[in-house]
Chain A
Amino acid sequence: MKSIRRGQHLITVLLLLFLAGFGFLIYKLQTESKFYISHASNASLGKVYDRKGEVLYDPNATAEEYGADYFLDVGNLIGDDSKQMTNTLVAQNKDLLANFSFMLGEQHDGRAAVGTTLDHTVNRRVYDSFGSKNGCAVAYNYMTGEIYVCTSKPNVNVLDHYANISELPEGALLCSVFYPTVPGSTQKISTTLAALEHMGYDALMSKSFDCLGAYQNLGGQEIRCHKSAGHGTQGIMDAFANSCNPWFAQLVEDPSWTLEDIEETYRAMGYRLNGEGEQGYFDVNGISAYTASTTLTDKNDFSTQWGCMGQGTTLVSPLQLMVWQSAIANQTGVSTMPYLIDHAVSVAGKDLPRTMTTYGEKMFTPDSAAHMREIMLSNGRTRYADVLPGSDVAVKSGTAQIGEEKTENSLLTGFVDDQSFPVAFCIVIENRVGGVITTNQIASTMLSELRAALDVSA
């Protein structure tokens, strides 16, 4: 009988194991059901709103109700559930938007919704300000992480339902704010930060190099300046403001620091160096934004020096350029992570917890951040005072040569040095030559509109 009882015990164990597995399955289904339903082809979704309650996405939107191009400025950012675009707010947050609960199943009259941090009116103004040019602009609160403006051109009108998808301009389905571009001289912020970290402020301020319009580096290669007559003898303040390539080539070659020093700061800032490891991304409410990458092999070599000046293989997303500004503006060396979703509402209409501000890892010291801030503010005061009258704006501009045709993109990144209006930004105009609009003008439009929209007095 003892052996029979053991057989009974075996049966009991088997049944208990199954029951445990079944219990776990029920828990899993209960907790992950929103994720599953978000993958359904015709899930009932709620609306997305901007910070003032304007609709940014409506699954049942029509041109008659909203106007033919109402969503044009946010088409490839907010997106829709058509699966034509995957790296968009709607595509990545269908679980939040799903009018669904496991208890009640699908609720076609549910109240699920997402409230974003965007200001649609300002966003649209910025989009329109590009005129005939393509490019992108992004701005956020460098203290809290709220993204106020995020738009790119060309864009897609989701109300067209992709009827003309084959005729859409290249890149219309991607919000270029999140994708890498050649940063041009805005890269000199990273290189200057590396110098501040490893040489120290005093040593860097004491550096003085000549620019004669071109410089033959220690590798025997020539680095040309955009000013063919040269800038003469300069210190860091002038060289940074002038975006002088020969000066920065000599800074990179300077014997007082090593290639490893530059690599260390670049890595801390999130650069992927020399193709090592996997391409990195950082997350903005499910949207993947590319992290920076470059090649650093020999500091006396042209390609490394060229990379430190934002050309060659160096690639940075406009969002990343903007996020670095927060670490400088806050004088902490730590980035404030950007976010688009302010809050969500459940299917039953209950407000879900609001998004909290998060921070990245430490990239450089607060001292370096503070000194970098001074250098950028100096540049802003002397050359970009008209960007936002009444406020100090710290900036760095850049011109990036793109492709074999060497078309030039114009970039501007920086921040407003004002605690009541703490906004960092980045603007890119593609193929700037022949255009009537400049990054300064877009920055001016964006910041002044934003200041008015946020009800901040000058």
Chain B
Amino acid sequence: MLKNGLNYGGVITLLLLTHLSMLGIVLVRGNYQAPQDLLYLALAVLGLDLIGIIAAAIYRQMTYTLDIMLLGILNMSLIFQSCFGGVKLDIKHLITCVAAMVACEIGFLLTRNHEWIRKQKKYIYIIIGILILAILTLTGGRSMWITFKSFSIQPSEFIKPCFVLICAASIVELHKKIKVLFFYVSIDTLCLLAMTVVIFGLQWWCRDLGSLPTFAAIFGCALVCRLCYPRAKINKTAIAAMCVGGVLLAMVAWMLAPAYVQERLHADIWADPYGTGYQQCQALIGVARGGWLGVGAGHGRLAGVFAHESDIVFCTICEEWGLLYAGLTVVMILIMLTTVLMNPPKSYYHATMTAGVVAAFVAQMALNIFGSCNLIPFTGVTLPFISEGGSSMVTCGFLVGMLKAGQSPLFHHEVLRRKQAKKQKQGASAQNGKVSA
């Protein structure tokens, strides 16, 4: 296994202590009707822990830290979601947590070989195209949701990892440039820009403007990586032009934004606490009521407020568990994201990809936490790993898999090629030595 700053025993102990302490808190302060309710929850959490620990020990990979941390956060999420408004195991959320862990492995397996995944670029474009078509045809109007009876999915969530991958692929390759009007541009860059415009346009058309900053963060990160690329050869004038273009684009977007969006940017929620600012006002009252230590699992009043388990979930956790636990959850997610700093990528593709993944997570966390707490306009996006929602959980799991893949070593054939090159070099120098001797 690769070195990543934390030993296996330490991570497992931290994981179990966290969950046991949370279950202990539910036992002492929780709002449950019968002991069985808590028992089922404890069995689900500890059972999942056990399976995860055994799997991590048997299925030895390059790194276990991310798997264990993901397991830890998902089980925390399961405890939180199962306690909102009263303790009862949230089976739906349990299933999505398992799905997220499976998606993590899929994401890892698909993206660990940077050479292979880079070559699948055209298929990723096709997948995005299919997802966009599905949104346009199956959602039944300007919506992001496809609903089958009581089951609904949000295909736009799945676009996020695909977008990260095409950003990474388009930036890392050396492009053959063609002349368009007065500019030399590459086909890859044009394709990426076109796809970005299509995705942004789709979000705009569907009035799902909350996800726009997440996509913008991924694209922005990719752009910065592009500018930092050694062979980018981008001059200062081009960078200045990009900045001006970005500002102009933002101004146009502001002018064209729907009235309700513009209103949210400067609305005083306390002026009408029972009007448009109702959710945020109630959320902040909930945070205050919870204080540092919370009112107790299941005793919160936010459980009666719309989207308490998704858009304002951070505040719901603050109310029931206190800012201390809510903050610890955020810190755990951040630590998970910092593993990529402890164990850096070995290829530029993976470096760009992991930067995009971190940007997506950070943007979404900021939108959810700061938005629900009225620091920035409220956009109604999910909190990664914590909010209820299958599409979001699966996507987050897949993105963590990509993060894990970013910590992959160089692959065997590449190592061989390097060894061969080294041998050849050594052989050549030895021959030169003989000749000179």
Determine if A25 and B270 form an interchain contact, defined as CB atoms under 8 angstroms apart. no
Cβ-defined partner of B287 (8 Å) among A3, A36, A100: A36
Between A and B, how many residue pairs show CB distances below 8 Å?
116
- The smallest beta-carbon distance between A112 and chain B, in angstroms, is 14
| C-alpha spacing A33/B290, complex, angstroms | 10
Is A21 an interface residue when CB atoms closer than 8 A count as contact?
Answer: yes
Given known contacts A7-B351, A18-B366, what 8 new A-B pairs fall within 8 Å (CB)?
Answer: A3-B225, A4-B346, A4-B348, A5-B344, A21-B370, A29-B287, A32-B284, A33-B288
| C-alpha spacing A37/B337, complex, angstroms | 34
Among A7, A12, A104, the most chain B Cβ lie within 10 Å of the Cβ of A7
Q: Is the interface of B mostly helix, strand, loop or mixed?
A: helix
Is A275 an interface residue when CB atoms closer than 8 A count as contact?
Answer: no
Determine if B292 and A4 form an interchain contact, defined as CB atoms under 8 angstroms apart. no
Determine if B230 and A25 form an interchain contact, defined as CB atoms under 8 angstroms apart. no
Determine if B292 and A18 form an interchain contact, defined as CB atoms under 8 angstroms apart. no
Is B201 an interface residue when CB atoms closer than 8 A count as contact?
Answer: no
Determine if B344 and A37 form an interchain contact, defined as CB atoms under 8 angstroms apart. no
7 A-B contacts, Cβ less than 8 Å apart?
Answer: A3-B225, A3-B351, A4-B346, A4-B351, A6-B228, A10-B228, A14-B359
Interface string of B358-373 (1 = CB under 8 A from A): 1100100110011001
| C-alpha spacing A5/B352, complex, angstroms | 11
| C-alpha spacing A19/B337, complex, angstroms | 12
Q: Which residues of chain B (234-285) have a CB below 8 Å from chain A?
A: 270, 273, 281, 284-285
A interface with B by C-beta (< 8 Å): 2-8, 10-12, 14-15, 17-19, 21-22, 24-26, 28-29, 32-34, 36-37, 39-40, 100-106
Cβ-defined partner of B228 (8 Å) among A7, A19, A106: A7
Determine if A10 and B225 form an interchain contact, defined as CB atoms under 8 angstroms apart. yes
| C-alpha spacing A29/B284, complex, angstroms | 8
Is B141 an interface residue when CB atoms closer than 8 A count as contact?
Answer: no
Determine if A11 and B354 form an interchain contact, defined as CB atoms under 8 angstroms apart. yes
Q: What are the residues of chain A within 8 A of B358 when measuring CB–CB?
A: 11, 14-15
Interface string of B361-394 (1 = CB under 8 A from A): 0100110011001010000000000000000000
Determine if A105 and B362 form an interchain contact, defined as CB atoms under 8 angstroms apart. no
Known contacts A21-B370, A29-B287; is-contact A3 B348 (Cβ 8 Å): yes
Is B169 an interface residue when CB atoms closer than 8 A count as contact?
Answer: no
Determine if A102 and B337 form an interchain contact, defined as CB atoms under 8 angstroms apart. no
Q: What are the residues of chain B within 8 A of A37 when measuring CB–CB?
A: 285, 288-289
Determine if A105 and B284 form an interchain contact, defined as CB atoms under 8 angstroms apart. no
Interface string of B210-226 (1 = CB under 8 A from A): 00000000000100110
Known contacts A15-B334, A21-B366; is-contact A39 B291 (Cβ 8 Å): no
Cβ-defined partner of B285 (8 Å) among A12, A17, A39: A39
Q: What are the residues of chain A within 8 A of B352 when measuring CB–CB?
A: 7
Determine if A11 and B229 form an interchain contact, defined as CB atoms under 8 angstroms apart. no
| C-alpha spacing A105/B292, complex, angstroms | 8
Cβ-defined partner of A34 (8 Å) among B221, B288, B347, B369: B288
How many B residues touch the partner, as a band?
A: 35 or more
| C-alpha spacing A30/B177, complex, angstroms | 55
Q: What are the residues of chain A within 8 A of B338 when measuring CB–CB?
A: 15
| C-alpha spacing A105/B301, complex, angstroms | 14
The 5 closest A-B pairs by CB, nearest first: A7-B351, A105-B291, A36-B288, A33-B288, A6-B228
Determine if A22 and B330 form an interchain contact, defined as CB atoms under 8 angstroms apart. yes
- The smallest beta-carbon distance between B42 and chain A, in angstroms, is 26
Determine if B285 and A36 form an interchain contact, defined as CB atoms under 8 angstroms apart. yes
Q: What are the residues of chain A within 8 A of B289 when measuring CB–CB?
A: 37, 40, 100, 105-106
Is B27 an interface residue when CB atoms closer than 8 A count as contact?
Answer: no
Q: What are the residues of chain B within 8 A of A106 when measuring CB–CB?
A: 289, 295
Which residue of B has the minimal Cβ distance to A7? B351
Which residue of B has the minimal Cβ distance to A11? B358
Known contacts A2-B230, A25-B373, A39-B270; is-contact A10 B287 (Cβ 8 Å): no
Q: What are the residues of chain B within 8 A of A102 when measuring CB–CB?
A: 288, 291-292, 323
Cβ-defined partner of A7 (8 Å) among B273, B293, B345, B365: B345
Cβ-defined partner of A3 (8 Å) among B228, B340, B375: B228
Is B327 an interface residue when CB atoms closer than 8 A count as contact?
Answer: yes
| C-alpha spacing A52/B292, complex, angstroms | 37
Which residue of A has the minimal Cβ distance to B346? A4
Known contacts A10-B221, A18-B362; is-contact A26 B295 (Cβ 8 Å): no
Which residue of B has the minimal Cβ distance to A98? B288
- The smallest beta-carbon distance between A101 and chain B, in angstroms, is 7
Determine if B291 and A104 form an interchain contact, defined as CB atoms under 8 angstroms apart. yes
| C-alpha spacing A178/B225, complex, angstroms | 62
Known contacts A4-B345, A25-B369, A34-B288; is-contact A10 B355 (Cβ 8 Å): yes
Is B51 an interface residue when CB atoms closer than 8 A count as contact?
Answer: no
Cβ-defined partner of A103 (8 Å) among B224, B284, B292, B347: B292
Which residue of A has the minimal Cβ distance to B365? A18
